[in-house]
Structures are given as structure tokens and as C-alpha cells.
Amino acid sequence: MSSLRAELMGTNGTIVPPYRMLLPPGWESFDLSETTERDLLRRANARLQGAGNSGFGPVLAGKVHEALEGLRARRGFAYAFAGDAAPSWAIGAATLVGLKRTSTPEAPLDQLVERAIRHHGGVAIGEGERIVRWTERRKTSVDGEDVVSFLINYLVPIPGTRRTEAVQWTATVAHDADLPADHPNLQLWLALFDTHVSTFTWTVR
């Protein structure tokens, strides 16, 4: 998107009710349809060809398909990342995913919130403190290099479901394994996503 303040809008209501949320400047948002998958691959292949690295295309296609299939299986409905118009420091550094969460007898959402508060520093944010935010750190490997995924999770209850259904936004920031959890860069990412996820609002009237 080329606007200074990108806006993520869910209007089809097929997975969650319609909503609106502001994204960081230069970020682009997508649904998780097969059409979107083809469009993303088309754009990526064009960039690879421009860089003289078209042979990586089939590998990239497999990775993108695997990632989106995994999100669809988890009832994902939105995906966002920093586009070409975003500041250079943000490109490739983080992603934001929207998932629908539903209570089960074994794992009610109230229990998820309680665990987030007790074990992951969960706090209430946003207007009316209706959004619960917690963070996690997970070790992983990217191209053979050890890294840490800093996960910032936000849970927003869906109106009228008595807290049995919710939207979960998860921002993922990958960083070097030796970067401390309280590093200023990670705190800036936390503040950035807090600011934008706090603008989340339902548009059902």
C-alpha cells in the first residue's frame, strides 16, 4: 500500500466479523486465499529474476505454500508484512498474522488468558483494556543459523460469544540468538505493535 497509514480491513466476515485496524506505515495486508498465494509468488519471482536468482523460485514457492497452508489449517485469516514503501529497517524483519481462536472443553480461552498473565507477562491494553497482550521467545533455525523468534500475541474477544471466540494477532520478530530479551530494539517493536493493534475495532453495527 502506498498510503502513509495502511489500514487492514476484514470485510467478508467468513471467519471473523468485519473489523478495522491500522498498520505501520508501508505495511501491506493480505488474506490467505490461493489467489493471494499466487500473487505473492508472482511478485517474489519478479524480484528474484531482477536479482538474477530465478533458480530459487521453486524453493520459495514450496516455502510460501507450506507457510500459508499451515496458517489456513490454524484458521488464519490475515497476513501482513512491511512492503517496499516501508522504512528499510522494517523490511523482512517482522510479520503479523491474524488467527481465529475458539474455546474447547480442554482449552477454554479464559484459561489461555490466565496462563498468559501468569507465565508470559500478559497485560491488558487498548481502549477499555479489552485486548490482552503477552510475549514469548522461541529458539529456531533459519538457513542453518540459530535465531530467536520474539512473539507478541494479542487476544481480542469476538462480541456476542461470551469469550468463547476471539481474534489472535501474533507479530513475529526474528533476531540474533544473543540479543537480550530487554534489548531496546525489541522494546521498540513491542511499542510499535501495541500502538497499531490497539486501533483494532469491530465494524459490525
For residue 120, the SS3 value is coil
Across 45-54, 58-67, 120-129, 156-165, least confident range: 45-54
- Tell me: the pLDDT tens digits for 9-34? 655 445 788 899 999 999 989 888 88
For residue 38, the SS3 value is helix
What is the pLDDT of the chain when averaged over all its residues? 85
Cβ neighbors of 156 (< 8 A, separation 6 or more) are: 130, 131, 166, 167, 168, 169, 200
Q: What is the pLDDT of residue 37?
A: 84
* Domain positions in the chain: 7-198
Q: Are 186 and 175 in contact (CB under 8 A)?
A: yes
Stated pTM of the model: 0.85
Q: What is the pLDDT of residue 57?
A: 58
CA distance 58 to 39: 15
- Tell me: the pLDDT tens digits for 127-184? 888 999 999 999 887 777 788 999 999 999 999 999 999 999 999 998 988 899 899 9
